[in-house]
Amino acid sequence: MQIIENLKLKEKLYIEKLENGLTIMIIPKPGIQKKYIIWGTNYGSNDSEFFVPGEDEKTRVPNGVAHFLEHKLFEQENGTNSLDVLTALGVNANAYTTNDHTAYLFECTDNFYEAMDELMDYVQHPYFTDENVEKEKGIIGQEIMMYDDYPEWRVYLNAMQAMYHNNPIKIDITGTIDTISKIDKEILYKCYHTFYHPSNMALVVCGDFDPEEMLKEVKKRLIVKKNQGEIKRVYPKEPETIVKNRIEQNLEVSQPLYAIGIKDKKDNSDMGNKNLMVQKHIGMEILMNIIIGRSSNLFRELYQEGILYSMPSLDYEFGKDYAHVLITGQSTDPEKLYCKFKEEIQKLKTNGIKEEDFNRIKKMIYGGYVKEYNDVQDIARMFLADYFKGINSFDYIEEIEGVKLEYINQILKDVFKEEKMVISIVKNEQK
């Protein structure tokens, strides 16, 4: 087992890749009562076109299969639902699907190994029938309709649709009523056997564990699977341009919601260089905070004018085939906010970013990274998501020192271009 130690954090990662390809990561937290386990597959809603290892013909499945699979794995052949079994054990269990990966997890203080038995059993034993697949379509159909009226989701998805022409990130993770109607048990089994192979998965455990003992516990619960080749994923070509610069929807909200998106050019060479990926992500976080973070001049001005009452959510989202800046929140006047946001960017481009602002924000970002290691959930989920991007989460701590002001100014010029910006607004027409 490989041990990676971060001396700045005083944290250790124990990592082992098994013969079947499964990567196991263990982050011990001596003296912490909470225990957390997450088992994920490098398979999300964007993966609808692919070549199954050993097959020459491309497979295309309906949108929403990854999320549908996540729902169905809890249902067992004996009639039980694994989520109910885990809840009865007193653990907090859940699952989720993103554009890039699907994960199954639980957090607890007691009954860890009993719950681990259940988790590792249901993830490895799918049970799909014509009847239970049809029944699930009704349940997921209701979820889709619910999200259609959910303002926070609509303002996000509308921003994706304004930015992206062809990339599947513009499609709802759940699919649509029409696309899920085409899902059957054969499609589910095919996607399960392709993407839920150990070589495409990673398991992360965080808590007060002995790493060698935990590794044994995981291994004895694994079923034997033959090695498989690489899954070749197919993504549509995406132009660098945006679709439209503005999109608006009327829904019942107490205050207008906004999402400002900036489409970034996805350089595939970045995905092969983890240092570049990490530095770019750090740079984006620093930049967004300088422009509109809590201590920025712009946020202070917007707050004093009553345009903003709370700090926006600042994100740089990137994956195998997409990358964008996303700034979201509530505002009394999203149009004015957007106008001032663009003015602030122009001002910073003209005058340059002050060294003192850069150093202050960089220290704040570093403090935020360190703070993430206080919670077993944050640690485990972070290591899983980063692993599927080819990153070790410790890299953020190591790389932040090397991010210089010149680099930040360069990103500002290269990425924060008005022709790549969109604004999505959800507001109540009556108000």
pLDDT tens digits, residue range 39-48?
999 999 999 9
User: Are 244 and 421 within 8 A, CB to CB?
Assistant: no
Is residue 262 pLDDT above 90, yes or no?
A: yes
pLDDT at 149: 87
Q: What is the DSSP letter of 265?
A: P
Residue 270 is predicted with a pLDDT of 52
Residue 396 three-state SS: helix
Pick the catalytic residue from 11, 70, 344, 399: 70
**232-to-40, 66, 183, 200 alpha-carbon distances in Å:** 19, 16, 21, 12
Considering the domain architecture, whether residues 262 and 225 belong to the same structural domain is answered as no
Kindly state whether residue 137 falls inside one of the protein's structural domains.
Answer: yes
Among residues 205, 233, 261, the one where a domain terminates is: 233
Closest CA to 174 of 273, 44, 297, 362: 44
Q: Is residue 238 part of a domain?
A: no
Q: Name the residue range of residue 316's domain.
A: 246-427
Q: According to the model, what pLDDT value does residue 416 have?
A: 97
**What tens digit of pLDDT does each residue of 286-338 get?**
999 999 999 999 999 999 999 999 999 999 999 988 999 999 999 999 999 99
Q: Give me the helix-helix angle, 130-148 and 65-72, nearest 10°.
A: 120
Task: Tell which residue, 214, 177, 154, 186, has the closest CA to residue 64.
Answer: 177
pLDDT tens-place string over residues 67-104: 999 999 999 999 899 999 999 999 999 999 999 999 99
Report the predicted TM-score, pTM, of the whole model to 2 decimal places: 0.94
Label residue 188 exposed, middle or buried (CB < 10 Å: 0-12, 13-18, 19+).
Answer: buried
Which residues lie closer than 8 Å to 196 by C-beta, 6 or more apart?
41, 43, 123, 126
Statement to judge: residues 250 and 380 lie in one domain: yes
CA distances from 20 to 48, 150, 225, 364, 399 (A): 24, 41, 7, 41, 32
- What is the per-residue DSSP string for 54-122? T-SSPEE--TTHHHHHHHHTTB-TTS-BHHHHHHHTT-EEEEEE-SS-EEEEEEESS-HHHHHHHHHHH
Instruction: For residues 52-74, give the mean pLDDT.
Output: 96
Write down which residue in 208, 233, 258 finishes a domain: 233
Torsion of the alpha carbons at 27, 30, 36 and 42, rounded to the nearest 10: 0
Rounded mean pLDDT of 28-37?
A: 97
Please name every residue paired with 25 in a beta bridge, in sequence order, or none if there are none.
15, 204
Mean pLDDT of 113-133: 96
272/216 same-domain check: no
Q: Is 148 helix (H, G, I), strand (E, B) or coil?
A: helix
| Rounded distance between C-alpha atoms, residue 138 and residue 47, angstroms | 23
Structure tokens given for 22: 């499964």
Does 225 share its domain with 295? no
CB contact at 8 A, 330 and 309: yes
| Per-residue DSSP letter, 197 | S
Q: Is the pLDDT of residue 167 over 50?
A: yes
Q: Is 408 helix (H, G, I), strand (E, B) or coil?
A: helix
Number of domains making up the chain: 2
Q: How confident is the model at residue 189 (pLDDT cuts 50, 70, 90)?
A: very high
* DSSP H or E stretch at residue 39: strand 35-41
Average pLDDT, whole number, for the chain? 95
296 in Cβ contact with 289 (< 8 Å): yes
DSSP 211: H
Asked if residue 345 belongs to a domain, the reply is yes
| Residue 182: inside a domain | yes
Tell me, yes or no, whether 240 lies in a domain: no
What does the pLDDT read at residue 272?
Answer: 55
| Confidence category of residue 225, pLDDT binned at 50, 70, 90 | confident
Pairing of strands 23-28, 201-207: parallel
Q: Are residues 224 and 253 in the same domain?
A: no
Any catalytic annotation for residue 70? Answer: yes
**For the chain, how many residues are written?**
431
Domain shared by 329 and 407, yes or no: yes
Last residue of a domain, one of 199, 233, 267: 233
Note whether residue 241 is domain-resident.
no
With bands split at pLDDT 50, 70 and 90, how would you rate the model's confidence at 269? very low
Q: For position 6, which CATH number holds? A: 3.30.830.10
Whether residues 227 and 310 fall in one domain: no
Which pLDDT does position 226 carry in this prediction? 84
In a domain, 282, yes or no: yes
pLDDT-derived band at 147 (thresholds 50, 70, 90) equals confident
144: in domain:
yes
146 in the same domain as 99: yes
Does residue 205 share a domain with residue 72? yes
